[in-house]
């Protein structure tokens, strides 16, 4: 059981990192981590986030992390046999 959890967490973290580098690039730079983690404060910040598509980017990063978590759990289960 320990191998399953550790593999899932490791692959989930790798999925989040890969998702950030794949999807968080806007123009020639990456969106700040604080922008992705913290909700927008104030109307102007929320409008700027909506224009840049921060919600969609956040969703894609979380999906890639979830896919990594699932893959890690499967690999850990196979290795645990």
pLDDT of residue 57: 93
Residue range 5-54, pLDDT digits in tens = 999 999 999 999 999 999 999 889 998 898 888 877 778 888 877 888 88
Instruction: Give, for 29, the enclosing helix (H) or strand (E).
Output: strand 29-30
pLDDT of residue 13: 97
Q: Between the CA of residue 11 and those of 24, 35, 79, what are the distances in Å?
A: 19, 24, 14
CA distance 41 to 16: 24
Q: What is the pTM of this model?
A: 0.86
Strand partners, 30: 25
pLDDT of residue 65: 97
Strand partners, 29: 26
Q: Please tell me the total count of domains within the chain.
A: 1
pLDDT of residue 78: 92
Q: Which domain holds residue 30?
A: 2-80
| Of residues 37 and 69, more confidently modeled | 69
Q: How confident is the model at residue 58 (pLDDT cuts 50, 70, 90)?
A: very high
């Amino acid at each position: 059981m320990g191998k399953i959890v550790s593999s899932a967490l490791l692959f989930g973290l790798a999925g989040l990192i890969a998702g950030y580098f794949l999807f968080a690039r806007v123009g020639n730079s990456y969106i700040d981590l604080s922008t992705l983690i913290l909700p927008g404060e104030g109307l102007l910040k929320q409008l700027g986030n909506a224009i840049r598509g921060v919600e969609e980017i956040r969703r894609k990063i979380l999906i890639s992390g979830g896919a990594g978590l699932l893959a890690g759990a499967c690999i850990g289960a196979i290795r645990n046999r």
